[in-house]
Amino acid sequence: MHNAAFRSLDMDWVYVPFPVRPEKLGRAVRGLEALNVRGVNVTIPHKEAVIEYVDELHETASLIGAVNTLEFDDGTVRGYNTDADGCLRALEEVTSVRNSSVLILGAGGAARACAFRLALAGASGILILNRTPERAHSLAGDIWEKLGFDVSSGGYDLIPEAAVDADIIIDTTPVGMHPHTDDEALVTAELMHEGMVVYDLVYNPVRTVLLREAEKASAVPVSGLKMLVYQGAESFRIWTGRKAPVDVMEEAVLEGLWRKD
Ligand code: NAP
């Protein structure tokens, strides 16, 4: 999606993958900086460990404890978390997060980025439910400690009563992700209502089993494709100082997904 964006804006830039072994992470970051690379995305398994090599950590990245974007600026290495902004922007396109009650399913890295960002954006309430409830409790405790925002937490047994009261449901688990497209959705249509926003972070397929349930209930489905594109758009802005051509980027991701299938 970045190369498509560069092409569409006639920019002589290129985005390439660099597989890096964990024991070489520090040397890789310093090497990229020495080579005058403008920036990189950082992904699994380096998002937390890379913080050690960052000179200036952006506030959201510091709260979340994970970095997905590095910017190299005249010897300074800056770390950002654009997943968090991508998560929020996709939601804000269809609803206002402020004063909404949000149910988050899952308590891994993506849930962490979304939960912190939504707490900062003024959600009225956040409930995190996870297969392993202890991880949900631990994330809720961390948000309380860092932001003084009281998040509730528990296991999936609470889904039926929690879903009914939510304005927004965010599924941050891999349930329904290709090739497991016929998984059973964690929340089914009977527990949803008209106008509720149902956001699945899975982006392959674009129309997941959860989003099909949302359609049945006349809820508002939001695909993880949006978060993927918007986190990319924010990284693009950080590196280039220019507004990202999000339509071009979304089209490039869709084309890539079709080619993969
Ligand atoms: P992660 O750190 O491994 O967390 C996965 C979470 O899902 C954990 O809470 C896990 O529960 C739960 N889970 C896993 N398998 C499950 C199952 N079969 N049933 C119910 N719950 C299950 O992963 P992550 O990095 O947060 O990513 C999670 C998903 O989000 C992936 O599908 C990823 O592709 C997607 N994602 C999308 C974007 C985007 O831009 N759209 C960005 C980031 C991630 P336990 O704690 O019990 O293991």
Sign of CA pseudo-dihedral 150, 139, 209, 204: positive
Q: Is 210's pLDDT higher than 70?
A: yes
Report the pLDDT value the prediction gives residue 258, as an integer from 0 to 100.
80
Atom index in ligand 1 nearest the CA of residue 183 equals 18
Q: Take atom 20 of ligand 1 and give the residue whose Cα is closest.
A: 131
Q: What is the mean pLDDT of residues 203-229?
A: 97
Q: Take atom 11 of ligand 1 and give the residue whose Cα is closest.
A: 131
Q: Which residue has the tokens 């296991």?
A: 155
Ligand 1, pocket residues at CB < 6 Å = 83, 86, 106-111, 130-132, 135, 172-175, 177, 201-203, 224, 227-228, 231
Q: Which residues contact 213 (CB under 8 A, 6 or more apart)?
A: 185, 187, 188, 189, 192, 198
- For residue 131, the CA-to-ligand 1 centroid distance in Å is 11
- 103-124 residue pLDDT tens: 999 999 999 999 999 999 999 9
Q: Is 94's pLDDT higher than 90?
A: yes
- 27-57 residue pLDDT tens: 999 999 999 999 999 999 999 999 999 999 9
Helix (H) or strand (E) holding 77: strand 76-80
pTM reported for the whole predicted model: 0.95
Reported as a pLDDT band with limits 50, 70 and 90, residue 259 is: confident
Report the pLDDT value the prediction gives residue 261, as an integer from 0 to 100.
60
